């Protein structure tokens, strides 16, 4: 079987040439976008205005691409401190509506995490700065670069006066980092209108797992977050006055938390693994081919030794198995000193990352039953209360969907390699939201490299990723139109 792909056709070659020739302009536009401090995290009117500004700039650019743009105004946001802040509009755009062509909708966000040079940035975070082919700036990879790459791809067809092989839609928001205020409601509202003729939804808001090998993401873990409270009374006690005659809440809580997971990372809650989809031989093979440098991964994480020694075991436990993490204890005395207090009421916090086909309410039931059993064995006179405060489903896509095949072919054409087929151990509710509400095929097609540092100091996107990524999207449109 031939593993190499055929050389790009005449049209592809022209598209790629055009993108190469205009790459400095593409970088310049990214620079203009990065210069806008569209921070959605800090609730400051000035920053909110910046998000409005970038949404308007994006709407303008979409119009220049020939798209019909609707800027959906949203209600203001009431903050807990009584302040009210305007919420930037969500943009819905469409370009072409020919029924014989597939329609692909791109989701992206234009807001960013906060950044200040004093945080340890080597350059001004809002001045895109190129060093050795790396374009440093807040939002460069998360998510302004990928959004622009998609627009670059669309614009290249237009510049060459070539008909777009697919109908294109955009849904762009400015509040993703702050929890995508109002997005889900809008998707629900537009289910039978904007989304009705959409065949595929593409999200490009993650990273590859390596520096050089592109990836396709087809699954993310869910999350169920628990609080377990053990209470004797609201006030604390003096350990000299009460120590020795009480069931101490902290001792109960430590025993409860200690009953959740063993030292090999195995979750001890009865029944929890029963719901997990069995790991198939095909999946195991997929893990073997993934481009992950275990040693570099270990070194960059500054972890002396992981629980697992092989790449396959490590990745399956990150993506394919549930995990339980203990996050903290509220109400506990945590000063560096030696105060002799017995906390009267403490709350332990832990969460379970969920995988297909784990069911949220069953997980909740199993956790509660387990903790109640452990607690009752202690015969404590304290009160225990367990609640699940966050419940987010895992997401899994069908990798034999047409758009996954098209993306694989486009990656072969542009990069000359097979993509890493990966999942993400974190919880990214957006994919599942789109899939559940619209019932359409959702794909994550990231452009950024593993070391891009999203949310961190010195975030960057490589010029290579940005430019080749623009080509990738152009090639993807063509492949999709052939396969659809
Ligand atoms: Mn993002
Ligand atoms: Mn982000």
In this predicted structure, what is the pLDDT of residue 3?
44
Which ligand number lies closest to the CA of residue 177?
Answer: 2
Sign of CA dihedral 452, 454, 459, 464: positive
- The reply to whether the predicted model has a pTM over 0.95 is no
Instruction: Please spell the DSSP secondary structure of 377-389, one letter per residue.
Output: HTT-SSEEEEEEE
Q: State the distance from the centre of ligand 1 to the C-alpha of 142, rounded, in angstroms.
A: 5
Q: Is the pLDDT of residue 89 over 90?
A: yes
In this predicted structure, what is the pLDDT of residue 269?
98
Over residues 114-129, the mean pLDDT reads 97
In this predicted structure, what is the pLDDT of residue 386?
98
Q: State the distance from the centre of ligand 2 to the C-alpha of 446, rounded, in angstroms.
A: 13
In this predicted structure, what is the pLDDT of residue 336?
85
Q: Is the pLDDT of residue 454 over 60?
A: yes
* Separation CA 183–CA 101 (nearest Å): 27
| pLDDT tens per residue, range 122-178 | 999 999 999 999 999 999 999 999 999 999 999 999 999 999 999 999 999 999 999
In this structure, of 15-24, 52-61, 277-286, the range with the lowest mean pLDDT score is 277-286
| pLDDT tens per residue, range 278-301 | 998 988 888 988 888 888 888 888
Domains of the chain: 11-220+394-483 (3.40.630.10), 222-276+321-392 (3.30.70.360)
What does DSSP say about strands 215-220 and 420-424: parallel, antiparallel, or unpaired?
A: parallel
Q: State the distance from the centre of ligand 2 to the C-alpha of 344, rounded, in angstroms.
A: 38
Q: State the distance from the centre of ligand 1 to the C-alpha of 457, rounded, in angstroms.
A: 15
Q: State the distance from the centre of ligand 1 to the C-alpha of 82, rounded, in angstroms.
A: 28
CA–CA distance from 275 to each of 100, 325, 390, 394 (Å)? 41, 19, 19, 13
Tokens read off for 100? 């014989």
Q: What is the CA radius of gyration of the chain?
A: 25
Q: State the distance from the centre of ligand 1 to the C-alpha of 261, rounded, in angstroms.
A: 31
Instruction: Give me the half-sphere count of Cα atoms (radius 13 Å) on the Cβ side of residue 414.
Output: 34
pLDDT bin (cut points 50, 70, 90) of residue 7 is low
Q: State the distance from the centre of ligand 1 to the C-alpha of 40, rounded, in angstroms.
A: 12
In this predicted structure, what is the pLDDT of residue 291?
84
In this structure, of 3-12, 140-149, 161-170, 183-192, the range with the lowest mean pLDDT score is 3-12
Ramachandran class of 271: left when φ > 0, alpha when ψ lies in -120 to 50, beta otherwise: left
Tokens read off for 234? 């609201």
Q: State the distance from the centre of ligand 2 to the C-alpha of 203, rounded, in angstroms.
A: 13
Give the CA angle between residues 66, 474, 455 to the nearest 5°: 90
Q: State the distance from the centre of ligand 1 to the C-alpha of 178, rounded, in angstroms.
A: 11
Over residues 17-26, the mean pLDDT reads 98
What residues are annotated to the active site? Answer: 111, 176
Residues in the 5 Å CB sphere of ion ligand 1 = 142-143, 205
């Amino acid at each position: 079987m031939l593993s190499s792909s055929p050389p790009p056709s005449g049209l592809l070659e022209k598209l790629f040439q055009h993108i190469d020739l205009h790459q400095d302009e593409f970088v310049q536009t990214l620079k203009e976008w990065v210069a806008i401090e569209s921070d959605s995290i800090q609730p400051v009117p000035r920053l909110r205005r910046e998000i409005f500004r970038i949404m308007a700039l994006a709407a303008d650019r979409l119009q220049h691409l020939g798209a019909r743009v609707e800027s959906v105004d949203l209600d203001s946001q009431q903050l807990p401190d009584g302040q009210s802040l305007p919420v930037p509009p969500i943009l819905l755009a469409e370009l072409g509506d020919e029924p014989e062509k597939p329609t692909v909708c791109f989701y992206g966000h234009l807001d960013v995490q906060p950044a200040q040079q004093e945080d340890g940035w080597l350059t001004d975070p809002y001045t895109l700065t190129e060093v050795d082919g790396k374009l440093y700036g807040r939002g460069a990879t998360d998510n302004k670069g990928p959004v622009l790459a998609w627009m670059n791809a669309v614009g290249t067809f237009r510049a060459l006066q070539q008909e777009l092989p697919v109908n294109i839609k955009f849904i762009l928001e400015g509040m993703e980092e702050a929890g995508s205020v109002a997005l889900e409601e809008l998707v629900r509202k537009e289910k039978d209108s904007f989304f009705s003729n959409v065949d595929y939804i593409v999200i490009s808001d993650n990273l590859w797992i390596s520096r050089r090998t592109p990836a396709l993401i087809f699954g993310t873990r869910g999350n169920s977050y628990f609080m377990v409270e053990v209470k004797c009374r609201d006030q604390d006690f003096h350990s000299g006055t009460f120590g020795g005659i009480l069931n101490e809440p902290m001792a109960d809580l430590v025993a409860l938390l200690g009953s959740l997971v063993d030292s090999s990372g195995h979750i001890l809650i009865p029944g929890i693994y029963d719901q997990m989809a069995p790991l198939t031989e095909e999946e195991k093979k997929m893990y073997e081919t993934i481009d992950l440098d275990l040693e570099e991964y270990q070194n960059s994480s500054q972890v002396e030794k992981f629980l697992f020694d092989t790449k396959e075991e490590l990745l399956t436990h990150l993506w394919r198995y549930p995990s339980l993490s203990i996050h903290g204890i509220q109400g506990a005395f945590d000063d560096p000193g030696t105060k002799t207090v017995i906390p009267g009421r403490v709350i332990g916090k832990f969460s379970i990352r969920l995988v297909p086909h784990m069911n949220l309410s069953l997980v909740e039931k199993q956790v509660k039953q387990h903790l109640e059993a452990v607690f009752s064995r202690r015969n404590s006179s304290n009160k225990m209360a367990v609640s699940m405060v966050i419940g987010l489903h895992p997401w899994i896509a069908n990798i034999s969907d047409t758009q996954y095949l098209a993306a694989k072919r486009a990656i072969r054409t542009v990069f000359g390699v097979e993509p890493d087929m990966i999942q993400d151990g974190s919880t990214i509710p957006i994919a599942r939201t789109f899939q559940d509400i619209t019932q359409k095929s959702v794909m994550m097609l990231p452009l950024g490299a593993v070391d891009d540092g999203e949310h961190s100091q010195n975030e960057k996107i490589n010029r290579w990723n940005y430019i080749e990524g623009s080509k990738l999207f152009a090639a993807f449109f063509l492949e999709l139109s052939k396969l659809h």
